């Protein structure tokens, strides 16, 4: 009997390991289903207003459509990086816009949590906190940080989804128009569907001040649908990325050096009256030295 116990323990351990690997593979396949060519519809509307200001005006409902190409630029055992490209204009003469990027990291422990005023606070989570989970790290068009959070991919009743709630800067549709709040508390749900995938959001507009409790002034619903279409429709995006990918590899490498310091991070809003993405999206900026120099100029 004593000899049997170690054998049984080994069998249980091997079975558990096989199940964990099978689940991880299932997670990876779900993440990569967000790659491809998609017709996208962006839908946002303010739902509830909690402001005490009698002059408060809710944000206008926003509905926009576009064609988006999402390509896996890294596909490793513990990391999948997906670059999004927005294709706009006439189909025969499209313009390509480098859009957001999402990195998925397995059992990641290092986080940069947005804390308002262009500041991200570094946090180290324990192994137990992130066991079996995937972190989604979302980056701006210039590959600077935006928001990130960890969660478990769920497969139940024929559904495939991942959920997390985290702090984030104001979205572009807001920060050019609003200054009455400084944090978006984003409730993110990424669900794989039979037509592509959905980014479902339940957001709160938050005022955060040091030494005071957060104040929620409004809530917002976001529902973005990604409908898969024929890959040929995104050929212009594929060609553009082939020409541009080496430059953006240099940009990511520089940012990785910044993140590897594992310190709180604050970025300048502008340098010489110009925001970072306008520097980096300039086609004339291609050298590693120039790229490193301008990013250093924005890192406080």
Give the per-residue pLDDT at 113: 98
Work out the burial of residue 193: count CB atoms within 10 Å of its CB; fewer than 13 is exposed, 13-18 middle, 19 or more buried. Answer: middle
Give the per-residue pLDDT at 3: 59
Distances (CA, A) of 74 to 39, 79, 289: 23, 7, 24
pTM for the model stands at 0.93
Q: Give per-10-residue mean pLDDT for the chain (300 aa).
A: 58 68 97 98 96 92 96 98 95 93 98 96 98 98 98 97 98 90 98 98 97 96 98 97 97 98 97 97 95 97
Tell me how far apart the alpha carbons of residues 87 and 67 are, in angstroms, rounded to a whole number.
5
Give the per-residue pLDDT at 4: 59
Tell me how far apart the alpha carbons of residues 199 and 162 are, in angstroms, rounded to a whole number.
10
Give the per-residue pLDDT at 95: 95
């Amino acid at each position: 009997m004593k000899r049997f116990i170690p054998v049984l323990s080994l069998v249980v351990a091997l079975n558990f390991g096989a199940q964990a690997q099978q689940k991880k593979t299932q997670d990876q396949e779900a993440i990569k289903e967000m790659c491809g060519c998609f017709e996208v519809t962006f839908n946002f509307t303010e739902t509830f207003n909690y402001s005490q200001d009698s002059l408060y005006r809710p944000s206008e409902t926003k509905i926009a459509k576009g064609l988006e190409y999402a390509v896996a630029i890294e596909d490793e055992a513990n990391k999948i990086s997906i670059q999004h490209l927005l294709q706009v204009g006439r189909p025969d003469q499209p313009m390509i816009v480098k859009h957001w990027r999402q990195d998925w990291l397995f059992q990641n422990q290092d986080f940069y949590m947005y804390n308002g005023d262009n500041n991200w606070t570094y946090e180290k989570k324990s192994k137990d906190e992130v066991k079996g989970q995937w972190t989604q790290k979302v980056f701006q068009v210039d590959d600077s940080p935006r928001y990130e959070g960890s969660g478990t991919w769920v497969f139940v009743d024929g559904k495939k989804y991942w959920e997390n709630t985290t702090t984030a800067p104001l979205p572009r549709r807001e920060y050019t128009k609003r200054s009455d709040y400084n944090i978006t508390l984003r409730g993110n749900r990424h669900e794989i569907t039979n037509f592509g995938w959905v980014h479902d959001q339940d957001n709160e507009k938050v005022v955060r001040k040091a030494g005071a409790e957060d104040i929620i002034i409004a809530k917002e619903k976001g529902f973005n649908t990604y409908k898969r279409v024929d890959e040929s429709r995104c050929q212009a995006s594929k060609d553009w990325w082939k020409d541009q990918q080496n430059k953006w590899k240099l940009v990511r490498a520089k940012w990785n050096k910044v993140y590897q310091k594992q310190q709180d991070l604050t970025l300048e809003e502008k340098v010489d009256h110009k925001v970072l993405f306008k520097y980096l999206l300039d086609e004339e900026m291609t050298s590693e030295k120039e790229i490193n120099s301008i990013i250093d100029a924005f890192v406080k």
